[in-house]
Structure 1
Amino acid sequence: MSEELTPVVVGLGPVDPALVTPFLGEGVQFVRDPSAGDLAVAQGAIVRAAYDVDRALLDRMPALRVVARTGVGVERVDVAAARERGIAVAVTPGSNARAVAEGAFAMLLALIKRVPESHRFVANGTWGIAPVPVPGDAHGTTLAVVGFGRIGRIIAGFATAFGMRVIVHDPFVQAEEFENVSLEQAVARADALTLHLPGGDGELLPRALLASARPGLVLVNCARAELVSTETIIWGLGAGRLAGVGLDVFASEPMRDHPLAHDPRVILSPHTTGLSQAALAATFQMAAEAVTETLAGRYPTFTVKVA
């Protein structure tokens, strides 16, 4: 009888072995930087969000049984091609929801209080020469939470604790404890607005809609870059509709030479709001457990369905 081969699991994108190997079980070999030979025999793959898993890559991995992707979006995974090959595609919902919510709300408060502008005002030696940037107030203002999933719910709780009025727009979910409004109402009534919807349907906040916002809106996008284009944001800042913008997602990543990089009203972060230490640990644990479930002949809990 032939000796059973050791199952190989590969990391696609930066994957810390220390965060996944404790949950892969005994007898599983994890390969951090896989060669072509490793890909050919890999039964499982733990895939970072920015890594493309297309049909060509799947062709190079004939033994693959499961793709466990960090995060919830699968726009970079050819799910249909995986399904044709009997490969499960698992995601890690909720593992970084609090981290994203904290990051988005931190951006929101920093922009309301004009922290970036105040820093540059002092650092550039303008203090005592020009009028100081006057901070705004969170208390008593209206926050529109667009997307009321795990992240949106946490942010709504933060906002309530700060004395903000919360209104919610979600095309699929009705909030029980907050006022539900249309997208048009959310934009028109908000003093601050934070986006937490998936992409895929084009620009959610085009210029025509943003034009209905009250002057001085603070906008944070930690969801998908396509929800509001850079061109729309530039127009909004120039027209005074936007007073501050926080972005953690970009059309091309890593982003270089962003046209708003030197605007003191803008905060840019390198798609890291969901990458706190605790969130990373939880995300990789969920991904590794999905691989373990599949290799044991079970179906991962959070598996993407194909219509």
Structure 2
Amino acid sequence: MPETIQTIVALGPVEPALVEPLLSAKHRFVAEPDEEDLASADAAIVRAAYRVDPSVLDRMPRLKVLARTGVGTDLVDVADAKRRGIPVVITPGSNTRSVAEGVFTHLLALVKRLGELTAVVRDGRWEDRREVRVGDLDGFTLGIIGYGRIGRRVEHLARAFDLRVLAYDPFADVPTEIRRDTVEQVLKESDFITLHLPLTEETQGMFDAGRLASMRRGSILVNCSRGGLVDLDAALAALESGQLGGVGLDVFDPEPPAHHPLFDHPGVTLSPHLMGFTQQSMANTVKDAVLGALAVLDGNPPAAVAGS
């Protein structure tokens, strides 16, 4: 008796070249499914921008698993999927290394004043280079606010720069030698701060004027986590007063953001929420989603499920 073919569909753009090497002869992958494909789908690989609501699930009556690329499920009706017995697989960790490298991209650009030095050369102002105060990482202190997967990876990379590392996280297991019990303790002792927190009612606007004032004067703040953590008006005021020596932002609230005067300050580096969306990390997250879907289809537990 021939083996039943299991259909895996893409909801959103998914490159077949990333999926097909992971499949066996009993699987069929459809990158651009029509209604018939959806009706026969056993699994779906869901991209971040694709909304999965009850009407979409109604079109896939045979569905056994949704595999979301990434960890955000705000566009997926997880509760309705759960009611139907459909687990929503997520892929934490697939972009951990990319985001951590993004932190150092911003940090190095700010410490080494790369934007200002580029302008000096581009504008033919060679003699002005002496007026740009270039710094170092070696021997200074990096404070990590949030010690999850990305925070731990940032610490690992920091060691290569001979940075002293401190960390605060009320929930994670932070090694005793780097742990501080409050955010303020980390800010007081650090020259550079990197944020790795979820956005909640408690953390919304967490880095406001008061908290920025508690940082070391001239310190640098990098946010590759959630845009709502930082009050941009307060950050601009802190830059203009010299309380902050630089700000690096990869995330904004909302996205895309309206133009803010902070964006024009020479002590600011900006990227459009792409530090975690490198070619390699995108390939990793699709592969992890596929492996999670296959685990469910084979009757095995996936690595991570939303809402569990």
TM bucket by the smaller chain? 0.7 to 0.9
- The answer on whether the counterparts of 1:144 and 1:167 sit within 8 Å (CA) in structure 2 is yes
Alpha-carbon shift at residue 166 of structure 1 (Å): 1.0
Moved beyond 6 Å, runs of 4+: none
* 1:129-278 → structure 2 map (5 Å cutoff): 132-176=131-175, 177-201=177-201, 202-255=204-257, 257=259, 259-278=261-280
Inter-partner Cα distance in structure 2 for 1:17 and 1:251:
33
- The answer on whether the counterparts of 2:3 and 2:26 sit within 8 Å (CA) in structure 1 is no
Write out per-residue CA displacement over residues 79-109 of structure 1, whole angstroms, 9 at most, x where no aligned residue: 2222112111111122221222112122112
Specify whether residues 136 and 90 from structure 1 end up closer, same or farther in structure 2 by C-alpha distance, changes over 3 A only.
Answer: same
What secondary structure does 1:120 align onto?
A: helix
Alpha-carbon shift at residue 19 of structure 1 (Å): 0.8
What secondary structure does 1:180 align onto?
A: coil
Letter in 2 for 1:197: L
Specify whether residues 91 and 56 from structure 1 end up closer, same or farther in structure 2 by C-alpha distance, changes over 3 A only.
Answer: same
- The answer on whether the counterparts of 1:120 and 1:264 sit within 8 Å (CA) in structure 2 is no
Inter-partner Cα distance in structure 2 for 1:129 and 1:285:
49
The number of equivalent residue pairs is: 305
Inter-partner Cα distance in structure 1 for 2:304 and 2:71:
9
Structure 2: 5+ residue stretches without partners: none
Tell whether 2:281 aligns with 1:282.
no
Alpha-carbon shift at residue 113 of structure 1 (Å): 1.2
Specify whether residues 39 and 173 from structure 1 end up closer, same or farther in structure 2 by C-alpha distance, changes over 3 A only.
Answer: same
Write out per-residue CA displacement over residues 244-303 of structure 1, whole angstroms, 9 at most, x where no aligned residue: 222222224445746544433222223222233433333222110111122223332211
More deviation, 166-175/24-33: 24-33
Inter-partner Cα distance in structure 2 for 1:211 and 1:60:
54
More deviation, 192-201/245-254: 245-254
Inter-partner Cα distance in structure 2 for 1:85 and 1:235:
51
Matched residue, 2:116: 117
Inter-partner Cα distance in structure 2 for 1:117 and 1:280:
32
Inter-partner Cα distance in structure 2 for 1:181 and 1:121:
43
Inter-partner Cα distance in structure 2 for 1:241 and 1:53:
45
What secondary structure does 1:250 align onto?
A: coil
Letter in 1 for 2:68: R
* 1:61-140 → structure 2 map (5 Å cutoff): 61-128=60-127, 132-140=131-139
* 1:12-51 → structure 2 map (5 Å cutoff): 12-51=11-50
- The answer on whether the counterparts of 1:121 and 1:132 sit within 8 Å (CA) in structure 2 is no
Inter-partner Cα distance in structure 2 for 1:88 and 1:116:
46
Matched residue, 1:297: 299
Structure 1: 5+ residue stretches without partners: none
Inter-partner Cα distance in structure 1 for 2:55 and 2:266:
43
Inter-partner Cα distance in structure 2 for 1:134 and 1:66:
54
Write out per-residue CA displacement over residues 9-28 of structure 1, whole angstroms, 9 at most, x where no aligned residue: 22233321111122233243
CA RMSD of aligned residues (A): 2.7
Inter-partner Cα distance in structure 1 for 2:170 and 2:55:
35
Specify whether residues 244 and 38 from structure 1 end up closer, same or farther in structure 2 by C-alpha distance, changes over 3 A only.
Answer: farther
Specify whether residues 10 and 250 from structure 1 end up closer, same or farther in structure 2 by C-alpha distance, changes over 3 A only.
Answer: farther
Alpha-carbon shift at residue 143 of structure 1 (Å): 0.8
- The answer on whether the counterparts of 1:53 and 1:76 sit within 8 Å (CA) in structure 2 is yes
**Percent identical residues:** 46
- The answer on whether the counterparts of 1:167 and 1:181 sit within 8 Å (CA) in structure 2 is no
More deviation, 171-180/246-255: 246-255
Inter-partner Cα distance in structure 2 for 1:35 and 1:251:
35
